């Protein structure tokens, strides 16, 4: 198939493109490079620099005999979304609407969407499954939930087949070392830990050590980006013969912040300097997911998502002593 990947030069997108090409698909990348990295653009992919907000570019790209779309282009900083909701409305909501409308014009009727665990809000029970209530506590999560609702209507009214993939905490780099471009402006724990280990940052903050968890720090469910990428390929292929679906993508196991710091020091041989500060508003003590539906529908499992593998793959990219071709 010929696949359009929006945001295909970004951190997750570049790994998805790699897996699509390895699976024999032709790929067109559309990316405005606000978060993308030229180094990560696959040499066998066609690259178009542009935004999902540009309807002319979208029309031209969808005219390239595209069979299906994997939509990753979005802003994803939850904190920023609470201070600049206009930015997230424009990019996430308007951009996705433009993509869908261009698809309808060109009769492209399958769509893989990168959603998020942020649609759930505070967990009412663990592990969080797809039947959990949907009560986002930040505007970013709201935009993703609004798009999921939009997709249901496009399915009902237009016959669109879609997969909404609710990511938990994506982390790691390609385990074979084929992607080296660093994520821009990381907001998540593991890349920040790597920046401390590599000397980019002198220290980092740990937000709260007084949670009702095993060591007082927050617990999260991490999924290796290679596992995430393989799920996109499986979802795209599943949609060719099956109906729309929504699933979680996660390991199903949680690690605390202190677990991460200890294992990072083990993997890197560096001291991860940190300060304990107050809790961040909106951070639940623990967030672990159930991915049973992904296992059943797609025959998918997380193969690389143990903490040691995730951190080793990251250190291979962040370590300033490792030279990449």
Give yes or no: residues 42 and 143 share one domain: yes
Mean pLDDT computed over 315-322: 94
Q: Is position 92 within any domain?
A: yes
pLDDT in tens, 255-277: 999 999 999 999 999 999 999 99
Catalytic pick from 140, 162, 211, 318? 140
- The domain total for the chain is 2
CA 73 to chain centre: 10
Domain assignment present for residue 64? The answer is yes
Written as one string, the DSSP assignment of 26-78 is EEEEEE-SSS--GGGS-TTSEEEE--TT-HHHHHHHHTTT--EEEE------H
Going by pLDDT thresholds of 50, 70 and 90, the confidence category of residue 79 is confident
In a domain, 183, yes or no: no
CATH number at residue 290: 3.90.25.10
Does residue 241 lie within any of the structural domains?
A: yes
Helix, strand or coil for residue 87? helix
Find the mean pLDDT for residues 81-89.
Answer: 95
Helices (H), 106-212: 139-158, 189-198
Residues 237 and 270 in one domain: no
- Is there a single domain that holds both residue 196 and residue 167? no
For residues 151-171, give the mean pLDDT: 97
35 and 90 together in one domain: yes
Annotated catalytic, 125?
no
Instruction: Indicate whether 55 and 128 sit together in one domain.
Output: yes
Of 199, 231, 249, the domain-final residue: 249
* Span 197-217, pLDDT tens digits: 999 999 999 999 999 999 999
Q: Tell me the residue range of the domain where 134 lies.
A: 2-171+222-249
Does residue 113 form part of some domain? yes
Q: Is 68 inside any structural domain? A: yes
Q: Determine what percent of the chain is predicted with pLDDT higher than 70.
A: 100
Domain containing residue 245: CATH number: 3.40.50.720
Residues 77 and 216 in one domain: no
pLDDT of residue 325: 67
Q: 50 and 88 in one domain?
A: yes
Of 15-19, 58-62, 77-81, 289-293, minimum mean pLDDT range: 77-81
- Answer whether 109's CB lies under 8 Å from 66's CB: no
Cα–Cα distances (Å) from 191 to 63, 194, 204, in that order, read 37, 5, 11
Whether 76 and 149 share a structural domain: yes
- Same domain? For 15 and 153 the reply is yes
């Amino acid at each position: 198939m010929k696949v359009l990947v929006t945001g295909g030069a970004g951190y997750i997108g570049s790994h998805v493109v790699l897996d699509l090409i390895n699976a024999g698909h032709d790929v067109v990348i559309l990316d405005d490079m606000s978060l993308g990295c030229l180094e990560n653009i696959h040499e066998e992919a066609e690259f178009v620099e542009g935004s999902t907000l540009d309807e002319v570019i979208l029309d031209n790209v969808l005219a390239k005999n595209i069979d299906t779309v994997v939509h990753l282009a979005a802003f994803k900083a939850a904190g920023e979304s609470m201070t600049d909701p206009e930015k997230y409305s424009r990019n996430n909501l308007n951009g996705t609407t433009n993509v869908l409308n261009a698809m309808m014009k060109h009769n492209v009727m399958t769509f893989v969407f990168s959603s998020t665990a942020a649609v759930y809000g505070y967990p009412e029970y663990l592990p969080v499954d797809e039947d959990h209530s949907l009560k986002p506590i930040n505007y970013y999560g709201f935009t993703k939930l609004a798009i999921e609702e939009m997709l249901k209507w496009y399915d009902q009214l237009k016959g669109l087949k879609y997969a909404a993939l609710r990511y938990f905490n994506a982390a790691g780099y390609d385990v074979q070392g084929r992607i080296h471009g660093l994520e821009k402006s990381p907001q998540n724990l593991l890349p920040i830990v790597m920046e401390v280990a590599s000397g980019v940052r002198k220290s980092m903050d740990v937000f709260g050590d007084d949670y009702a968890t095993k060591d007082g720090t927050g617990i999260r469910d991490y999924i290796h980006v290679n596992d995430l990428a393989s799920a996109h390929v499986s979802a795209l292929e599943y949609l060719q013969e099956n109906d729309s679906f929504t699933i979680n993508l996660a390991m199903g196991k949680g690690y605390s912040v202190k677990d991460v710091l200890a294992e990072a020091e083990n993997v890197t041989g560096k001291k991860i300097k940190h300060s304990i500060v107050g809790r961040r508003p909106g951070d639940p003590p623990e967030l672990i997911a159930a991915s049973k539906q992904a296992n059943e529908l797609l025959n998918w499992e997380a193969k690389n998502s143990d903490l040691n593998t995730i951190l080793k793959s990251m250190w291979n990219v962040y370590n300033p002593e490792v030279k990449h071709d």
